[in-house]
Amino acid sequence: MADAPVLTIDGPSGSGKGTVARRVAEILGWRLLDSGALYRILGLAAERAGVSLEDEKGLAELARGLEIGFESRPGEEGVRVSLGGEDVSREIRTESAGDRASRVARWPAVREALLERQRDFAGPPGLVADGRDMGTVVFPGACCKVYLTASAEERARRRHKQLKEKGLNVSIQTLCREIAERDRRDAERSVAPLRPAPDAVVIDSTGVTIDQVVDRVLAVVRERLS
């Protein structure tokens, strides 16, 4: 692993970690790893290739051969994600893509197949890694670790707002149910379950603005690097 600093930001979906990770990476001028996008892309690739979400070996093989591209464009919110050269940024952000992602993410062989690919993102001047197991499994030696959380209701509300902005209409109750189900699957799986690393700083973002969370995360980085 490279010696450049790594900041891991883990937590459940809707905790705001994606936005926080992007902003912090921008402010620090560090690289960004959106590890959830890898599982989302794999879910999409499996659907297209007709590989069953129950086929651990087939999924792992597919994961090893994935042609994935991440590209940040100045002035654009978010990162463009491509699969085999095709822009799939929108397609991987749907609720069903998230659901498929958490199903492929259950398999140990799949996680193993994506491990080195994730570690390859580390490098100077630093990396912000966003996911579920960044601080526990992928970058256990990271200097700065944050675990971001928020109540399920707040997370459902945020997700609802995001989807509405994209023109998608899903009820808050449905989202709350789906979020709870995905949390349960992520927390109960046998490999890399969702939980804070022992040396992570836990930040609850319920009722706190994104700017305030970003400031707290930056304070963690400053403190750990000083």
Least spacing, CB of residue 172 vs ligand C5P, in Å: 18
Task: Provide, rounded to whole angstroms, the least separation between the CB of residue 135 and ligand C5P.
Answer: 10
Which region among 48-56, 57-65, 127-135, 158-166 touches ligand C5P (by CB under 6 A)? Answer: 127-135
Stretch in the footprint of ligand C5P (CB under 6 A) among 61-69, 97-105, 141-149, 207-215: 97-105
What is the total count of residues that contact ligand C5P (CB under 6 A)?
A: 14
From 59-67, 72-80, 95-103, 152-160, span contacting ligand C5P (CB under 6 A): 95-103
Residue among 6, 78, 88, 79 at smallest CA distance from 46: 88
- Cβ proximity of 92 and 81 under 8 Å: yes
Taking CB under 6 A as the criterion, the residue among 133, 136, 159, 200 binding ligand C5P is 133
- Could you give the CA distance from residue 98 to residue 18 in angstroms, rounded to a whole number? 14
Nearer to ligand C5P, 23 or 182 (CB): 182
- Considering only residues 144 to 173 of the shown chain, the ones binding ligand C5P according to CB under 6 A are none
CB 135 within 8 A of CB 197: yes
- 213-216: long-range contacts, CB 8 A cutoff, minimum separation 24: 213/16, 213/20, 213/148, 214/20, 214/23, 214/24, 214/27
- Amino acid at the residue 115: L
Q: Considering the rule CB under 6 A, would residue 178 count as an interface residue with ligand C5P?
A: no
**Cα-to-chain-centroid distance, residue 209:** 20
Q: Where along the sequence are the contacts to ligand C5P (CB under 6 A)?
A: 13, 35-36, 39-40, 98, 101-102, 105, 131-133, 182, 186
